[in-house]
Amino acid sequence: MIKQSKWVRAHTNIAFIKYWGKEDETLILPKNNSLSLTLDAFYTDTQVCFDKKLNKDILFIDGEEQDKKALKKAQVILDLVRKEAGIHEFARIDSKNHVPTAAGLASSASGLAALAGAASLAAGLNLTKEELSRLARRGSGSASRSIYGGFAEWQKGSSDIDSFAIPIDEADWDIGMIFIIVDDGRKEVSSTEGMRRVVETSPYYDGWISSTKEDLIDMKSAIKMQDIVKVGEIAERSALKMHALNLSANPPFNYWSPESIEAMRMVSELRKQGYPVYLTMDAGPNVKLICKASQMEELMEKLLQTFHKEQLVMAKPGPGIQILED
Ligand code: DP6
C-alpha cells in the first residue's frame, strides 16, 4: 500500500534571541529559550510517500537524490512517525527549496518543519501544532519554530514533552529583513558542533544563559510595543553574544568573513544616517538586517552601492506551516 501526503510548505525563520547550546543532544533540548521571526522569502515544499515497494528511505532535494548524511536528520523524523503510526514502510521524500537567489540559502529549519508536516500527514497522524513543533524539533532545533508564522518562541522545557514552540505575535506591523549573502567558500563549523564546543569550553557560557533570560523578557515586551529600535537592539545584542561565545571557545572559531565585517560596518553607518537598522548573524557569514519593511527599498538602494543585486534579498514576516491543496 502507498501512503502519500499532499505537499506541505514551511517557511524558514531567523532567531532574534538565539538558540546556541543543547541540554540533550539526542532529544534536541536546548539550554535556553529562543525567539524567531518566520519569513516569507524562503520556504520548502515537501511530500512524503510511505511505500512498501521501497527497500530503503530516499530523499530528493530539488530532484537530486541525497546521500546518507543528508538523510540522517530526516530519518529521525521518519522513524518517530513510523513508530507513532505503527507503520513499517520505507519512505520517499521529495523536497523543493524555494530560495530567491542561487547562493544556496537552503535552511534546515524550513526543511525539517515541512518534513514533520508531510511525514505525519502521509502516516495519517493528525498532529496538533504543538505536536508538530515537537516532532520538527527532533530533526533540527530551529525547525520547531517554523511551524508558526510571525514571531515564535521555542520554550526549552525539561523533556521531550514540554519542549516546543508557541506563537508570540503575528508580526503584522512594519518589520522586515534584508539578507546580505556572503559566501566565502570556507567549510563552516556545523551548528551542532559549534554549540557543543561553546557549552563544553566557553568560560562565558553561564553569562550567556543568565543574560538571555533578560533579553527574552525585554524582547517580548518590545514586540508587544511594536518597537523596532528595541527589537533590533536586543536581537543584535543576542547575535553578537552568540558569536562572542564562539570566539571564547577552545579551540576558538568564528563564522565571519571580511565581507561580513563590511556589512556589519554598513549597518552602523546606516544607523548614523538615522535608519533603525540592526544586524543578526547565524552559523555562517551571511548578515541579516532587521529594519522597517517600509524602508527596505530605500535601504536596498544604499546597499547596492557596495553589494551586488544577487547578494541581496528582502523578506517580510511569513506564515506558518500549511498543506497545499492541489
Ligand atoms: C545559529 O537548529 O540548525 O541558527 O538543532 O543542531 O539542528 P540543530 O541546530 P540548528 O541551529 C540553529 C542555530 C542558529 C540560531 C537559531 O536559529 O536559534
Per-residue pLDDT at 40: 97
Pocket test for ligand 1, best of 108, 189, 191, 192 (most atoms within 8 A of CB): 191
What does each of the 326 residues of the chain score in pLDDT, given as a tens digit?
Answer: 689 999 999 999 999 999 999 999 999 999 999 999 999 999 999 999 999 999 999 999 999 999 998 899 999 999 999 999 999 999 999 999 997 654 556 678 999 999 999 999 999 999 999 999 999 999 999 999 999 999 999 999 999 999 999 999 999 999 999 999 987 677 789 999 999 999 999 999 999 999 999 999 999 999 999 999 999 999 999 999 999 999 999 999 999 999 999 999 999 999 999 999 999 999 999 999 999 999 999 999 999 999 999 999 999 999 999 999 87
| Cα–Cα distance list, 177 to 77, 102, 107, 279, 284 (Å) | 30, 18, 16, 9, 17
> 190 C-alpha vs ligand 1 centroid, how far in Å?
9
Q: Which residues contact 40 (CB under 8 A, 6 or more apart)?
A: 11, 315, 316, 317, 318, 319
> 141 C-alpha vs ligand 1 centroid, how far in Å?
6
Residue among 280, 289, 212, 206 nearest 248 (CA): 206
Q: Which residues line ligand 1 (CB under 6 A)?
A: 15, 18-19, 28, 34, 108, 140-142, 191-192, 282-283
DSSP labels, 234-290: HHHHHHHHHHHHHHTSSS------HHHHHHHHHHHHHHHTT---EEEE-SSS-EEEE
> 3 C-alpha vs ligand 1 centroid, how far in Å?
31
Give the CB-side neighbour count of residue 63, counting CA atoms within 13 A: 1
Residue with CA nearest ligand 1 atom 5: 141
Residue with CA nearest ligand 1 atom 8: 140
> 112 C-alpha vs ligand 1 centroid, how far in Å?
12
Per-residue pLDDT at 192: 92
The neighbour count for residue 39, using CB atoms within 10 Å, is: 28
Q: What are phi and psi of 302, to 5 degrees?
A: -70, -40
- Assess contact for 110 and 145: CB atoms under 8 A: no
> 157 C-alpha vs ligand 1 centroid, how far in Å?
17
